[in-house]
Amino acid sequence: MAMATVLLRAVPWLPVSVLAAATGLLLGLAGMLGESFAAYWLVLLSLSLASASASFVLDEDAEAVVDATPTSTRRRLAGRLVVVGVPGLVGTVGLLTLGRSTDLVGERFVLVLAGCLFIGVVAAAVLRRSGRPAPGDLAAVVAAVATALLLGADPLGRWVSVLPGGHGRDWAGTAALWSGVILAATLVLLWTSRDPAARHTWTGRP
């Protein structure tokens, strides 16, 4: 319990909560606009902001000493991933609410939201692995731009749409795509959360 509490205390809550709140605000505005072109773009923008919000959860200014503690990197990562629940919860509630008033299928978009959150965390994890103790500010930009382009440009549209269609339309391909993104992100997270000393050759075994 103490571990979970201190790990949460060390998270930069200001950017996480402000960007999560902005996610909720944009989804609320999209709900007010109803079935409109602007509402559609606001939903995409809100997903980018949720991704940016998740990018801050790995910020660890005291990394230099924290890495030398017996609490493993993965245990610390697991504790911090709880914070992703903040933009996740705000986004899920917003999308499901939006789904009731529009033809947007909220449940399907929740999977897209999960993928965007993973993209945010992975961007932070990769940057942190490259030597930035607090990569959030940069990772947020990378994640937001990446998700905005991915969702807005739909680069794989010829084969599979990045965004799920409305009720009654097949979305197996989209679901598979985002499940793949989440799986790949999980693998990258596992790779980046290896002990910083474990990647080297220790040949001191007796």
Query: Minimum distance from CB of 181 to another protein (Å)?
Result: 20
Q: Binding residues for another protein, how many (CB under 8 A)?
A: 62
Reduced to 3 states, what is the DSSP secondary structure of residue 3? Answer: helix
With contact defined as beta carbons under 8 Å apart, do 51 and 116 qualify?
yes
Contact call for residue 96 and another protein (CB under 8 A): no
**Which of 31, 47, 58, 76 lies at the binding interface for another protein (CB under 8 A)?**
76
What 3-state DSSP class applies to 153? helix
| Neighbour count for residue 107 (Cβ, 10 Å) | 11
Give the span between the Cα atoms of 56 and 169, in whole angstroms: 35
- What does the buried/exposed string (b/e) look like for 52-76 if buried means 16 or more CB atoms within 10 Å of the residue's CB? bbbbbbbbbeebeeebeeeeebeeb
Q: Does 26 bind another protein (CB under 8 A)?
A: yes
Q: Please report whether residue 198 would count as binding another protein according to CB under 8 A.
A: yes
Q: Are 82 and 9 in contact (CB under 8 A)?
A: no
**Judged by CB under 8 A, which of 66, 93, 175, 188 binds another protein?**
66
Single out the segment in contact with another protein by CB under 8 A; choices: 110-118, 123-131, 162-170, 192-200: 192-200
Residues that bind another protein (CB under 8 A): 2-3, 5-6, 9-10, 12, 14-15, 18-19, 22, 26, 29, 33, 36-38, 41-42, 45, 48-49, 52-53, 56, 59-72, 76, 133-134, 136-137, 140-141, 144-145, 149, 195-206
